[in-house]
Structures are given as C-alpha cells and as structure tokens.
C-alpha cells in the first residue's frame, strides 16, 4: 500500500513533469536511488502513458506513481481565444510555423483511469481538479494510494471530502502550472504559509511542492508537517531529464534572472523564466486552457528546434538557480536531509 511508499523511502518526490522532462529514465533513476517519483500522464494518450509505464517498469522494479490531469470544465471565451490566435500570427510567420488547433479538454482522462485500474501503479495523483469519490474508491479497491494537488485551503477541504489518501500542497513558488481546481482560482500563497494552513484543516499526509532548492528547504517543510517534498525544477538539468536542450541551457544562462507566472503559453497560470514571449504576451493571453497550449504548441516546438529560448516556455520554480547538471541520484542525495 502506498502509505508504506513514503514511509520507507527518502522524503523527496520527483514531481511529475509533463511535456517531456519527466520521462521514464528520470523517474526510474530517482526510484532506483531510493526516492519517490511520479510519471506524468498529461498531454499523452492512454496508450502512450501505458508505453511509458512499461518503459519505467523495465528500468526499475521499485514503486512509482502516475499523475493525471483532470478534464477542464472552465468556461472559455472563444472570441478571446480567436483574438489571441490572431495576435500570434506574426510569431508563427517569424518561426515558419503554423499555429495549432485546440484539441479535446479531457486529456483522455477516462481512458487513462480505466487503464490504470486494470494494471495499477503504486500511487496516482491528480492535478487541475478533484477526482470523484467513485474514482478515488475504485483506486482504493485496486490498492492504489491517491494524492490530490491543492493550492488553497478550500481545495484541500474538497480533496479530503473526495476520500483521497494524501494531498500535494503546491505553493506559488512552484515551476510550471499551478495545479488549482479551476483556471481562475486565486492562489498566490507561498508554500510556508499554505502548508500550515492546510495542516490545520486535515491530518492527511501532505507532500509539499514549490521552490525547494536544498536539503534545508526539505527539512523545513518536513518540520511544517509534510511527509515529503515534491521537487521539479531541480531535476530539470539532469542527464536523465527529457527537458529540451534549450530549456536546460536557459536554466543556467545568466541572461535569465527571474521567474514569473503567465498564461501566455498555455492559457493557465504557470511559472517560467521571464523571456521575450512571456513579457510580450502575459497581459493579453486569455484564461483558456488547454486551448492556448495547443495553439502555441507548434511555435514552441519550432523555437526549441532552433534553440530560440525567447519563444519557448522555460518552466522553472523560484529555486531555479540551484538546478545543476548532475545525475538524478546526486540531486536526490543533495536534497536529502541528513
Ligand atoms: C517542467 C515542469 C513540468 C511539470 N508538470 C507537471 C505535471 O505534469 N503535473 C503536475 O502535477 N505538476 C507538474 N509540475 C509541477 C510540479 O508538480 C511541482 O509542483 C513543482 O515542480 C514544484 O516546484 P519546483 O519546480 O520549484 O520544485 C511541473 C513542473 C515543472 C517544472
């Protein structure tokens, strides 16, 4: 049972990292080194996820989790999406790329749940919403531990209500998307304020995510009541990470000095290094996820292929300066409190 997973392993969890970084090699390396890890399911089909689960299992016999994106039920202003698309036309021309077309907003969720129930991993975590009680119960029957990502106390209460086994508490320092239940949730609390506030309303085990850059930070969140720290950015430059070369290089480039939260790339608040695209479009990007993600996808791919760090999403948390080009086992070791 999953409770044993965090009780028996190092108190550091490799965050699920959709979009390429969190590939099976990285997940397996962290698990093999005694840490905990989540394979991302976001943006994959159920069949692609199954391939990645099998690839991970081929590299490690240890327990790992899978992270699911909840389907998006936010209202989207189609006219605002069309206007944003028009605004990006020149970017597309400059990159010799076509703008993308929005796809389904459900991320193949039902098919993934069915597939995971048939052949489950040790844990399943959920982001961008709260799973139904039925889904949580079905995973419990399959002996899977469930974790819900929360960014406010209210979301924590809803997650507890769903019957989840644990919560991942995400502070505003976190790299990439805020895992809030809706696209418009205001959730700007730093981890060291949010964690005690969530602790006050539930006794469930808590993972703490956002801006973790050292073993001292991990020790601090453990002192605040977490069972483990969930870390993304510090693993991005590892050789096992599937982050693009341009994203890896940017994390170490002195030209990039700060991070900010933006909807410019995906239509949902996400933290990344401040580059030209982020500065230019943050004020105009609509709250439309994953529509904007799909529209900008070909631009981001074209820019990454050219090595143009100014037109890609450079997801990073506030501790990005502590990300080093070291094997995942070394990063895990460096983060583990003695
Ligand atoms: C490149 C990248 C991709 C991410 N993808 C996901 C994801 O697929 N699912 C998820 O729940 N969180 C995702 N996150 C957020 C992490 O779960 C976690 O909250 C965050 O990495 C913690 O902050 P840190 O990056 O400062 O360590 C991602 C983070 C990064 C940096």
Q: Is the pTM of this model over 0.85?
A: yes
Q: Is the CB of 179 under 6 A from ligand 1?
A: yes
State residue 4's pLDDT score.
Answer: 64
Segment 245-271 shows an average pLDDT of 98
Q: Of 44, 54, 38, which is closest to residue 111 (Cα–Cα)?
A: 44
Looking at 3-12, 30-39, 111-120, 243-252, which range is the least confident one?
Answer: 3-12
- Mean local confidence (pLDDT), 90-107: 95
Give the per-residue pLDDT at 289: 97
Ligand 1 pocket test, pick from 13, 14, 16 with the greatest ligand atom count within 8 Å of Cβ, gives: 16
For tokens 């933006």, name the residue. Answer: 262
Whole-number percent of the chain with pLDDT over 70: 99
C-alpha distances out from residue 80 to 22, 172, 270, Å? 32, 26, 19
Kindly list the domain boundaries of the chain, sorted by start residue. 1-72+107-241+324-338, 75-105+252-315
pLDDT in tens, 19-36: 999 999 999 999 999 999
The rounded Cα 331 to chain-centroid distance in angstroms is 18
pLDDT of residue 32: 98
Closest by CA position to 290, among listed 19, 39, 15, 16: 19
- SS3 category, 191: helix
Q: Is the C-beta atom of 176 inside 6 A of ligand 1? A: yes
Separation of 90 CA from ligand 1 center, angstroms? Answer: 30
pLDDT at 247: 98
Q: What pLDDT was estimated at residue 215?
A: 98
Residue range 1-72+107-241+324-338 in CATH 3.20.20.70: yes
Average pLDDT over the chain, rounded to an integer: 97
In the reported structure, the alpha carbon of residue 15 is separated from the centroid of ligand 1 by a whole-number distance in angstroms of: 6
Residues 230-249, mean pLDDT to the nearest whole number: 98
Q: Which two tokens stand for residue 165?
A: 């086994």
Report the candidate in 47, 52, 59 with the shortest Cα–Cα distance to residue 18: 52
Confidence band, pLDDT 50/70/90 cuts, at residue 185: confident
Segment 297-318 mean pLDDT: 97
Give the model's confidence band at 187: pLDDT under 50 very low, under 70 low, under 90 confident, else very high: confident
Beta-bridged to residue 127, according to DSSP, are 69
For range 276-299, the mean pLDDT: 98
Distance separating the N- and C-terminal Cα atoms of the chain? 26
- Summarize pLDDT for 197-207 with one digit per residue, the tens: 999 999 999 99
- Bigger pLDDT: 7 vs 211: 211
Tens of pLDDT, residue by residue over 160-184, are 999 999 999 999 999 999 999 999 9
Which pLDDT score, from 0 to 100, does residue 2 have? Answer: 44
In angstroms, the CA 215 to CA 154 distance is 29
Separation of alpha carbons 210 and 82, rounded Å: 33
Strand partners, 13: 36, 230
pLDDT for the residue 3: 53
Tokens (6 digits) for 216: 């001292």
Q: Could you identify the atom of ligand 1 that is nearest to the CA of residue 175? A: 25
Question: In ligand 1, which atom is closest to the CA atom of 316?
Answer: 31
In this structure, what is the dihedral angle of CA atoms 72, 73, 75, 77, given to the nearest 10 degrees?
30
């Amino acid at each position: 049972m999953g409770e044993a997973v965090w009780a028996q392993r190092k108190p550091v969890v490799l965050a699920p990292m959709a979009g390429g970084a969190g590939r099976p090699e990285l997940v397996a390396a962290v698990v093999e080194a005694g840490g905990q890890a989540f394979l991302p399911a976001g943006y994959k089909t159920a069949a692609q996820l199954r391939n990645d689960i099998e690839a991970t299992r081929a590299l490690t016999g240890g327990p790992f989790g899978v992270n699911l994106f909840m389907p998006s039920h936010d209202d989207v202003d189609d006219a605002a999406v069309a206007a944003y698309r028009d605004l990006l036309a020149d970017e597309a021309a400059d990159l010799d790329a076509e703008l993308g077309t929005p796809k389904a907003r459900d991320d193949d969720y039902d098919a993934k749940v069915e597939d995971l129930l048939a052949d489950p991993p040790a844990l399943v975590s959920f982001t961008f919403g709260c799973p139904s009680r039925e889904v949580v119960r079905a995973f419990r029957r399959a002996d899977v531990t469930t974790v819900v990502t929360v960014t406010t106390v209210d979301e924590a209460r809803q997650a507890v209500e769903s019957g989840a086994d644990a919560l991942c508490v995400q502070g505003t320092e976190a790299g990439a998307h805020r895992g809030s239940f809706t696209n418009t949730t205001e959730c700007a609390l730093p981890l060291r304020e949010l964690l005690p506030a969530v602790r006050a309303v539930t006794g469930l085990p808590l993972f703490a995510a956002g801006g973790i850059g050292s073993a001292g930070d991990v020790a601090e969140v453990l002192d605040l009541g977490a069972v483990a720290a969930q870390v993304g950015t510090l693993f991005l430059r590892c050789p096992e990470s599937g982050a693009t070369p341009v994203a890896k290089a940017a994390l170490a480039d002195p030209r990039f000095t700060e991070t900010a939260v933006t909807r410019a790339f995906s239509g949902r608040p996400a933290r990344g290094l401040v580059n030209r695209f982020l500065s230019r479009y943050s004020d105009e990007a609509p709250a439309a996820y994953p529509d904007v993600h799909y529209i900008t996808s070909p631009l981001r791919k074209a820019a990454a292929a050219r090595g143009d760090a100014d037109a890609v999403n450079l997801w990073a948390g506030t501790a990005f300066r502590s990300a080093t080009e070291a094997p995942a086992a070394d990063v895990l070791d460096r983060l583990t409190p003695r």
